[in-house]
Structure 1
Amino acid sequence: MYCLDIMMPGFTGIDLANEIRGSDKTAPILFFTSSAEFALESYSVRAADYVLKPVSKEKLFLTFDELLEQIEAQKKENAIIVKSCDGI
């Protein structure tokens, strides 16, 4: 999981996310930023969420909980359940 800001010295979080996507197509990317202007562009790097600062503790935990639920759901989609005479 990558937690990025949009505004960083010398480049944007979108630039960094593009670099990440070059080597990791599936890792969740979360943006925590005070800049709303890149929200639409975050879709181009398949960001899991785009949260505006200031971030409350409740919003932070909710964001992580939702992401963990998505990860668990993906694990179940990739699983095959086999029943045999010995069990599951």
Structure 2
Amino acid sequence: MQSILSAEAFHFEWLEDFSYDIILLDIQMAELSGIELAKLIREKDKHIQIIFVTAIPDYIGEGYDVDAINYLIKPISEEKLRECLSKAINKKEIQPKSILIEIDGGVHRIYEDSIMYLEIEGHELFIHQEDKTISIRKPLSEMEELLSMDEFIKPHRSYLVALKYIKYIDSKKITLKNRTTILISRGNSKEVQRKFFNYFKRDVK
């Protein structure tokens, strides 16, 4: 647990380290309010658990846009705090799995379900997401250890592909839902098709 005294200080800290799971925000702060800070956080992280703390119940309605899971009205009892944190922890456990990646000296959280595919070129690893691509220097083998490999396939030594984003597979290539095509190396075709077929069967149950 970490305590930070201002919204500005937390925002700076959070941009360097995306590893926070649950945040308690006071709505009334000196310059940047808790609501304004929550909106900035939601631009980059849709899953982090936000709990607002306030002495004025009138502010409660302002939190719906940022999907706050609860509000604590001051003074806060220990029982109410425990109940609220327990709810946040339980909700977090059903959130998509995430991994932490070091980028430019900071730590960033990437949710597995946002990754379409990973591609290695030389020493550079490209993490292709729906809305952006991140470049880091890390071997593909390390990502295999971090990711849930029952959600990904490896059609080629240079690629990991998320099964959920695949639209079509034939003997030579994978076509993703955004029309990106990825070649399947010789000898991998049957295994790739088998894994996709098994994933599809599981998904439609």
Alignment TM-score, normalising by the size of structure 1:
0.78
- The amino acid across from 1:23 in the alignment is K
1:21 aligns with 2:42: yes
- The amino acid across from 2:93 in the alignment is E
Given candidates 30, 48, 51, the residue that maps to 2:72 is: 51
- The amino acid across from 2:67 in the alignment is R
- The amino acid across from 2:29 in the alignment is M
1-structure distance, mates of 2:63, 2:86: 20
More helix by share: 1
2-structure distance, mates of 1:11, 1:73: 31
Q: Is the 8 A contact 1:6 1:35 kept in 2?
A: no
Could you list the structure 1 runs, at least 4 aligned residues long, displaced by more than 6 angstroms after superposition. Answer: none
2-structure distance, mates of 1:73, 1:18: 23
Secondary structure at the counterpart of residue 72 of structure 2: strand
Bigger relative CO (Cα 8 Å, ≥ 6 apart): 1
Given candidates 19, 22, 25, the residue that maps to 1:4 is: 25
Q: Is the 8 A contact 2:56 2:73 kept in 1?
A: yes
The correspondence of residues 33-48 of structure 1 with structure 2, limited to 5 A, is: 33-48=54-69
More strand by share: 2
Q: Number of residues paired by the alignment? A: 80
Secondary structure at the counterpart of residue 8 of structure 1: coil
Please, which runs of 5 or more residues in structure 2 have no aligned partner? 1-21, 97-112, 114-149, 151-205
| Shift in Å, 1:73 | 3.6
2-structure distance, mates of 1:65, 1:26: 16
Q: Which residue of 2 aligns with 1:68?
A: 89
Q: Is the 8 A contact 2:25 2:50 kept in 1?
A: yes
What are the Cα deviations for residues 40-85 of structure 1, in whole angstroms up to 9, with x where unaligned? Answer: 110111001111011001111111111112222446xx9x8xxxxx
Alignment TM-score, normalising by the size of structure 2:
0.36
| Shift in Å, 1:11 | 2.5
Q: Mark the structure with the bigger radius of gyration.
A: 2
The two structures, once aligned, show a CA RMSD in angstroms of 2.3
- Identity among equivalent positions (%) equals 36
Q: Is the 8 A contact 2:54 2:73 kept in 1?
A: yes
| Shift in Å, 1:16 | 0.5
